């Protein structure tokens, strides 16, 4: 069914771009002036191309049209230019002349009758809507009618059909893979932009209730899909909020941003290090915890961070959002610019600029009172030595609370990421184009630092379940501080994640003792209903071919990257009470960095970028315990660290200053983890 658009709609977008305010901000703020320069330069670059995406580019037009048309529309509105005007007018009319199937997306998107919207449809709708919003005067009345007809029939109506189907799904408790996820926010944002652009009151009236539904996708302190998809979802949530606010929709207040803002401490914890150069060239890049489908190199969306820094009523939350912006956007221009919202390598836009003058001052994690060790509902415990000059980060997949959605999660329970001195050593495989076999391989537990189980009776190897679902997982021991063991406080945490495997695994408990920045101890306790061989995989980072490995013995490895080094020892391994440790075996895997919707893209890893070291039990059995230690320091100091298992189960640790520390594992492990009730 087609809606007739009211020629005098109740709601229209007004006032989102204040050119005079931005000009005044540039006069007083070098940062604002620099942002304008970057945006104008990008607009000049895009408008020099024949179309929004050149034929020689890897990026296809659906995946860059919103950002590029937005840049050119802003530039022309800010500083009118006939070249920009001609390019913008021509591109919008060209896109609107494309077929309904073209608006659906690339060939891998299903083409139905009637058409149903996809992510690409939303991005196309956002692109056309922003041109109409910022530069309405460049289109004649006849052109405006042509554009609106295309928006309604090729974008708005297919989006309405998709949303109506999604609205029939339960918010929680759906069959895994059928629950709402980030798509709902993306398509709702595109739908809203198109409805407001053409003045469809009937569609606009549905926005407040649908916006409220998006809050159910956020957890109390984190987002269930992944860090990257928090960024994608939240980019569209904050943009939707701004559309509704600018249009004057009732009930649009800053409280709508709070569910997403509750994740800001989790986002801050997920920033491991900042480096001045890396796989993507020079500039200050953030190294991120990339559990699930998430990039190791990236930054949260500037538009969302500054929107929250501007509008949030909680000064600490607003300030933390500003702090994250300052951390991620010290260098405004970072390659690759063709991996913005769709590739999740975020860039600034005119929306970021519009919030800058009103954004709160930065509040650091220390000032915000964030602890160095914190557990989050989505399932990660993140520990660091300090916030002001972080040397070490250890992050562990440690069970999880009930999940609003299980999309974009990998089979990574028990796995971990650990880095020291700006270098990531133990790593996550990341993710790449979803249509690749390499992506399926990266999702599997065999690609993570966790366990598999070999059954000698059947010859089969058992991995984590294909779908873990949304129910709470794990008997979890929350982080607790331990005094009087090391020369300084230590933390103990862990989880029994046997449910991630199912029968015959009845216990799969991994407990951590961390004394950062230098030491992390792993204790694995496994029980099975029938004899099994336990294979413990540990994945090391060789994305840049800079990992150096020394195999000191069959159970003692030393890794070096840059100026940092790690000693990784299996201190003991037992099966049914007897020593049982086979020599470590090493295989190669592929690690991915920045996602791209296309295969064979630069962010896709090659085989050999990951080194997988597997410690297996020498025999099958029903009760297994293994103890590992990770020692981290500067390369010049690593040789002065030593660790040995003692007969009573304790660990003797030798420090570079020649002092010794006795770690009483029995006392530290005596508590039983409590099952999460969330």
pTM of this prediction exceeds 0.85: yes
Question: Cα–Cα distances in Å, from 584 out to 523, 531, 557?
Answer: 17, 21, 9
Give CA 454 to chain center in angstroms.
32
Whether domain 19-276+286-356 has CATH 1.50.10.100: yes
What does the pLDDT read at residue 1? 40
Are 360 and 315 in contact by the 8 Å Cβ rule? The answer is: yes
Question: In 156-314, which residue ranges form alpha helices assigned H by DSSP?
Answer: 157-167, 182-198, 201-204, 207-214, 227-246, 258-261, 264-269, 302-311
Judge residue 44's burial from the number of C-beta atoms within 10 Å of its C-beta, 0-12 exposed, 13-18 middle, 19 or more buried.
Answer: middle
Query: What DSSP string describes 17-86?
Result: --HHHHHHHHHH-HHHHHHHHHHHHHHHHHHTSSSSS-TT-SS-GGGTHHHHHHHHHHHHHHS--HHHHH
Neighbouring C-alpha atoms within 13 Å toward the C-beta of 150: 26
Are 198 and 151 in contact by the 8 Å Cβ rule? The answer is: yes
Two domains, one topology: 19-276+286-356 and 374-675: no
Indicate the domain borders of the chain: 19-276+286-356, 374-675
Query: What DSSP string describes 444-491?
Result: SGGGSSSEEEE-TTT--EE-S-S---SS-B-EEEEEEEEEEEESEEEE
Count CB-CB contacts under 10 A for residue 304.
Answer: 31
d(CA 471, CA 563): 42
- Kindly list the averaged pLDDT for each block of 10 residues, start to end, along the chain of length 678: 54 82 96 98 97 89 97 98 99 99 97 97 98 97 98 98 88 59 97 97 96 95 97 98 95 96 99 82 90 95 98 98 97 82 88 98 98 98 98 98 94 98 97 94 96 96 88 93 88 97 97 97 98 98 96 98 98 97 96 91 93 98 98 98 95 96 88 46
Q: Which helix (H) or strand (E) holds 570?
A: strand 564-575
Question: Cα–Cα distances in Å, from 70 out to 90, 208, 301?
Answer: 14, 25, 15
What does the pLDDT read at residue 338? 79
CATH code, 374-675: 2.70.98.70
């Amino acid at each position: 069914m087609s809606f007739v658009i009211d020629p005098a709609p109740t709601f229209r977008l007004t006032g989102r771009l204040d050119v005079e305010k931005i000009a005044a901000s540039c006069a007083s703020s070098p940062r604002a002036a620099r942002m304008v320069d970057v945006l104008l330069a990008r607009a000049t670059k895009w408008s020099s191309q024949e179309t929004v995406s050149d034929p020689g580019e890897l990026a296809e037009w659906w995946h860059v049209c919103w950002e590029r048309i937005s840049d050119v529309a802003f530039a022309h509105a800010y500083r009118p230019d006939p070249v920009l005007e001609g390019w913008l007018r021509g591109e919008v009319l060209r896109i609107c002349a494309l077929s309904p199937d073209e608006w659906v997306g690339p060939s891998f998107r299903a083409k139905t009758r009637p058409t149903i919207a996809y992510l690409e449809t939303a991005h196309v709708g956002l692109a056309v809507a922003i041109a109409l919003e910022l530069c309405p005067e460049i289109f004649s009345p006849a052109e405006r009618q042509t554009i609106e007809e295309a928006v309604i029939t090729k974008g708005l109506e297919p989006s309405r059909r998709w949303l109506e189907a999604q609205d029939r799904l339960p918010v929680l408790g759906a069959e895994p893979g059928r629950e709402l996820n980030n798509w709902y926010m993306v398509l709702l944002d595109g739908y809203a932009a198109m409805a407001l652009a053409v003045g469809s009151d009937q569609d606009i009236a549905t926005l407040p209730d649908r916006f409220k539904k998006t809050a159910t996708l956020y957890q109390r302190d984190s987002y269930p899909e992944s860090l990257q998809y928090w960024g994608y979802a939240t980019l569209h949530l904050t943009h939707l909020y701004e559309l509704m606010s600018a249009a004057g929709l009732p009930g649009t207040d800053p409280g709508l941003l709070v569910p997403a803002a509750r994740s800001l401490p989790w986002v801050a914890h997920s920033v491991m290090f900042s480096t001045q150069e890396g796989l993507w060239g020079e500039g200050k890049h953030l190294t991120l915890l990339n559990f699930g489908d998430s990039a190791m190199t990236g930054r949260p969306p500037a538009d969302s961070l500054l929107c929250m820094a501007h509008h949030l009523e909680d000064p600490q939350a607003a300030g933390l959002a500003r702090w994250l912006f300052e951390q991620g956007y010290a260098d405004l221009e970072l390659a690759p610019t063709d991996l913005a919202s769709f590739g999740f390598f975020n860039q600034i836009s005119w929306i970021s600029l519009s919030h800058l003058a009103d954004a709160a001052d930065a509040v650091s994690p220390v000032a915000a009172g964030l602890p160095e060790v914190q557990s989050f509902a989505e399932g990660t415990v993140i520990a660091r030595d300090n916030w002001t000059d972080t040397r070490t980060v250890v992050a562990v997949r440690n069970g999880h609370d009930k999940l609003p959605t299980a999309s974009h999660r990998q089979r990574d329970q028990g796995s971990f990421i650990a880095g020291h001195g700006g270098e990531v050593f133990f790593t996550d495989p990341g993710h790449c184009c979803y249509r690749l076999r390499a992506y399926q391989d990266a999702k599997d537990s065999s690609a993570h630092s966790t366990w598999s189980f070999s059954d000698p009776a059947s010859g089969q190897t058992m991995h984590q379940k294909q779908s873990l679902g949304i129910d709470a997982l794990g008997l979890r021991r929350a982080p607790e501080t331990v005094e009087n063991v090391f020369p300084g406080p230590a933390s103990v945490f862990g989880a029994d994640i046997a449910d991630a495997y199912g029968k015959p695994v009845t216990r799969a408990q991994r407990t951590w003792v961390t004394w950062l920045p230098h030491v992390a101890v792993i204790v694995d306790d496994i029980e099975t209903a029938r004899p099994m061989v336990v294979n413990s995989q540990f994945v090391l980072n060789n994305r840049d071919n800079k990992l150096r490995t020394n195999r000191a013995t069959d159970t003692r490895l030393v890794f070096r990257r840059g100026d940092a080094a790690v000693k990784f020892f299996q201190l003991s391994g037992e099966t049914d009470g007897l020593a049982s440790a086979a020599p470590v075996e090493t295989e190669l895997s592929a690690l991915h960095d920045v996602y791209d919707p296309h295969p064979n893209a630069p962010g896709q890893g090659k085989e050999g970028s990951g080194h997988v070291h597997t410690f297996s039990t020498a025999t099958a059995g029903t009760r297994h315990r293994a103890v590992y230690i990770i020692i981290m320091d500067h390369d010049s100091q690593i040789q002065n660290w030593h660790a040995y298992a003692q007969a009573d189960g304790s660990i003797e640790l030798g420090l570079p200053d020649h002092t010794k520390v006795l770690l009483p594992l029995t006392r530290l492990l005596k508590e039983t983890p409590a099952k999460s009730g969330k």
